[in-house]
Chain A
Amino acid sequence: MNSLPSDLERAFQAKIDNEYKIEPKDWMPAGYRKNLIRQISQHAHSEVIGMQPEGHWITRAPSLRRKAVLLAKVQDEAGHGLYLYSATETMGITRAELIDALQTGQAKYASIFNYPTQTWGDIGTVGWLVDGAAICNQVSLQRTSYGPYARSMIRICKEESFHQRQGYQIMMELAKGTPEQKSMAQDSLNRFYWPSLMMFGPHDSESAHSAKSMKWKIKRETNDDLRQKFIDQTVPQIEFLGLEHPDKDLKWNEERGHYDAGEIDWEEFHNVINGNGHCNRQRISHHVAAHEEGAWVRDAQNAYNAKMKARRAEAA
Chain B
Amino acid sequence: MLDLKEKTKQYSTRLGDDSLILGHRISEWTSNGPFLEEDIALGNVALDYIGRARMFYTYAADLAGNGKTEDDLAYLRSEREFQNYLINELPRGDFAFTMVRQLFVDVFFSYYLKALTNSNDTELAAIATKSLKETRYHLRRSRDWTLRLGLGTDESKARMTKALAEIWGYVHELFEPDELELELIACGIAVDTREIKDNWFADIGAILSEADLAIPDAEWAVRGGRKGYHTEHLSMLLSVMQSVHRAHPGANW
Contacts and interface: CB of A to CB of B under 8 A. Distances in A.
A181 B31 contact: no
A292 B190 CA distance: 44
Contact of A304 (B43, B152, B155, B244): B152
Interface of chain B, helix or strand or loop or mixed? helix
A120 B24 contact: no
Interface stretch (A76-84, A143-151, A224-232): A76-84
A173 to B, nearest CB: 6
Interface string B91-107: 00011000000000000
Contacts of A170: 253
Interface stretch (B2-10, B50-58, B117-125, B173-181): B50-58
A271 B14 CA distance: 51
A215 interface: no
Contacts of A180: 248, 251
B152 A303 contact: yes
B37 A301 contact: no
Interface residues of A, number: 46
B191 interface: no
Interface in A59-76: 59-68, 71-72, 74-75
Interface stretch (B143-151, B163-171, B197-205, B216-224): B143-151
A64 B152 contact: no
A64 B36 contact: no
A51 B251 CA distance: 27
Contacts of A66: 253
Contacts of B115: none
Interface string B238-253: 0011011100101111
B30 interface: yes
A286 B27 contact: no
Contact of B70 (A64, A85, A296, A301): A64
Nearest to B20: A64
Interface in A195-238: none
Given A51-B31, A304-B151, A62 B253 contact: yes
A24 interface: no
A55 B51 CA distance: 18
A30 interface: no
A72 B30 CA distance: 11
Interface residues of B, number: 49
B74 interface: yes
Nearest to A66: B253
A55 B43 CA distance: 11
Nearest to B240: A59
Contacts of A74: 30-31, 43
Contacts of B183: none
A286 B250 CA distance: 35
A58 interface: yes
B33 A60 contact: no
A177 interface: yes
Given A173-B252, A304-B147, A60 B71 contact: no
A41 to B, nearest CB: 14
B248 A62 contact: yes
B243 A60 contact: yes
A48 interface: yes
Interface in B8-57: 20, 24, 27-28, 30-40, 43-44, 46-47, 50-51, 53-54, 57
A299 B155 contact: yes
Contacts of B141: none
A300 B152 contact: yes
A8 interface: no
Contacts of B155: 296, 299-300
B153 A299 contact: yes
B75 interface: yes
29 contacts: A51-B30, A51-B31, A55-B30, A59-B24, A62-B244, A63-B245, A65-B253, A67-B50, A68-B50, A68-B54, A72-B47, A74-B31, A78-B39, A177-B252, A178-B248, A178-B250, A180-B251, A286-B31, A293-B32, A293-B95, A294-B33, A294-B34, A294-B38, A295-B34, A296-B153, A297-B38, A299-B155, A304-B148, A304-B151
Interface of A: 48, 51-52, 55, 58-68, 71-72, 74-75, 78-79, 81-82, 85, 120, 170, 173, 177-178, 180-181, 286-287, 290, 293-301, 303-304, 307
